[in-house]
Amino acid sequence: MNRHLSQRLGFSLLTLIAVFTVVPIVAVVIYILVQGAPAISWEFLTAMPRSGMREGGILPAIIGTFYLTIGTAIFSVPLGIAAAVYLSEYAADNRWTRLIRLAIINLAGIPSVVYGLFGLGLFVLFLNFGTSILAASLTLSIMTLPVIISTAEEALRAVPQGFRTVSFSLGATRWQTIRRIVLPQALPGILTGVILGLERAAGETAPILFTGAAFFLPRLPGSVFDATMALPYHLFVISTQVPEMPIQIQYGTALVLLVFVLGMNIIATVIRSRARAKRQW
Amino acid sequence: MEKDLNWREFVITRLIKVSGYSAIVFVALIFFFLLREGLPTLGEVSLSNLFSTRWYPIEDYYGILPLITGSLIVTVGASLIAIPFGIGTAIYIAEIAPRWVREILKPLVELLGGLPSVVLGFLGILVLSPWLRVSLNIPTGLTALAGSLLLGAIAIPTVVSVAEDALDTVPRSYREGSWALGATKWQTIWRVTLPAARSGVLTGVMLGIGRAIGETMAVMMVTGNAPVMALKLSSLFSPARTMTATIAAEMGEVASGSVHYHTLFFIGMVLFLISLAVNVAASSVVFRSKKRAERILS
């Protein structure tokens, strides 16, 4: 066969494959937007569920996901950034550092439901936190850690070595250099990683199934030792466990979850591209 | 003042170092707790029961083989989708697409990676499985195939981003050399760029498959949850039950410390070991090829 003809055929095939990969993604998002929009009202977003969740709003699920995301951030952000600083600024290239990297890769690959088991074993039962926001947040933050560490490390490494050399030559200590020079320069990249990590935590169901998620609560959680409703778990519950659930409420809940998660995704993308445009090095 | 500064620096450096090692601590802790809660099952359930083909905990049947084959068949189906589509899209983005198309496609694929699996499972129940039932004329659309389709979609972003990175790092001079010898762009992709990026593409595929094995919610919602042995490819068209879905569906209802509880942790331990093996293998592929590249370049 003529090799230019085979190139034409090959390119068409690859284009087709790319189209088949991307079109369903767009279709899913648009479909949920269209189907879910009619359910969205002020009441849906701000009222408690009524009549076995078949009427009313989804406020406790929205608040719950908000709490869990904040709780996850409190633990995973400082720890993740500190670990990234260690890997990028302190660690020597030796056996231990390679072991740390291997551990991070493995943390990233552990199935989410296994995190749920671990959270149940350690936080809920062994440390006796019970099924609670605290236990669920801790579980989610360990799951989020590898994303934050690897993106933050990449951002720190992208800061040119010259910046550090100049700072040292002016008499600054290593920590002063990190805090005043390296971290501020790497901030947009770190922030992008943090948001992408938290986005994953906000959308996850399996890790909170047995560590903090509640099927239904008549009131909002009052302390970190209370269980909570959450958007992804709520969507799971109303689409599989509640018979005769109005379809509109299901699509509405899916839409709110999607907006929550994709909103974070878009914010992260904007921060990244704006920082790239402004960067002077 | 000077002393104060030194002291602070010392404490902060220590804290950072401890945080650096936290990942190792967490992996060890996770493994420890899975062992602690999962190993007792070996004393409580006979091996012939544990490795039998019947999973029916209410009557003390704890055979995990149907769950393992369920995970396998769903994952094989997912790979059949994710590998061609993932690698094809990666090649398209890295080698063929004009710049503006690339700028649109990359965020869209990342978007797919960010979609919560429960949303995909939800659409799987309401849209995908009714469509499968009607178009394939099978009794229920909640089958291993539905799970495979969703898992394929979930694994694609991982395959695309890792494979695309690998293709991107192939030096431009390789391609230019090939073009200068008269090869077409298509021939260059197949004979030069793709072989040069081989290890990275392989890593992407392995990580994608790893993700598929570990996925829980979407699979639980659409596979119909029937713990039957899935040994033939035709099992794709009947309901199945994966290891992850079993844990997620049953852990909420068991008493902690019971045989059933320990067995679910045992399954978690198996999943942990599988993901460990996949990730160690994937990263060793990367390390090895890096070393080879360094040898060639130096």
Residue range B141-165: mean pLDDT, rounded: 91
Given a cut of 90, whether residue B263 has pLDDT beyond it is yes
* Locus of tokens 């198309």: B101
Between the CA atoms of A94, A100, A103 and A105, what dihedral angle is there, to the nearest 10 degrees?
A: -80
| Chain A contact present for B120, CB below 8 A | yes
Cβ pair B88:A269 closer than 8 A: no
Q: Tokens for A169, please give them.
A: 């030559």
- A239-253, B80-94, B125-139: range with highest mean pLDDT: B80-94
Distances, alpha carbon A9 to alpha carbons A5, A16, A256, B84, in Å: 6, 11, 42, 16
Whether B193 and B167 have beta carbons less than 8 Å apart is answered as yes
Distances, alpha carbon B262 to alpha carbons A130, B35, B258, B276, in Å: 19, 10, 6, 21
| Chain B contact present for A142, CB below 8 A | yes
pLDDT in tens, A85-120: 999 999 888 889 999 999 999 999 999 999 999 999
What backbone phi and psi angles, to 5 degrees, belong to B250? -105, -25
Mean pLDDT of all residues in chain A?
Answer: 90
Cβ pair B280:A106 closer than 8 A: yes
Whether A235 and B119 have beta carbons less than 8 Å apart is answered as yes
Q: For chains A and B, what is the number of CB pairs under 8 angstroms? A: 258
Mean pLDDT of all residues in chain B?
Answer: 88
Single-letter code of the amino acid located at B285: V
Cβ pair A210:B111 closer than 8 A: no
**Best residue in B3, B9, B30 for a mutation probing chain A (most A CBs within 10 Å):** B30
| Chain B contact present for A232, CB below 8 A | yes
What backbone phi and psi angles, to 5 degrees, belong to B231? -110, -20
Q: Which CATH architecture describes the domain A57-278?
A: Orthogonal Bundle (1.10)
Given a cut of 70, whether residue B1 has pLDDT beyond it is no
Residue B8 burial (CB count, 10 A): 13
The model carries a pTM of 0.90
Contacts of B117 in chain A (CB under 8 A): 203, 205
Tell me the mean pLDDT per 10 residues along chain A, length 281: 82 90 91 92 86 82 94 95 94 90 91 95 93 95 94 91 91 89 91 90 92 84 88 92 86 94 88 80 68
Q: Which of B27, B110, B117 sits opposite A106 (nearest CB)?
A: B27
Extract the runs of DSSP E, i.e. beta strands, from chain B: 55-56, 61-62
Whether A15 and B92 have beta carbons less than 8 Å apart is answered as yes
Domain residue ranges of chain A, discontinuous segments joined by +: 57-278
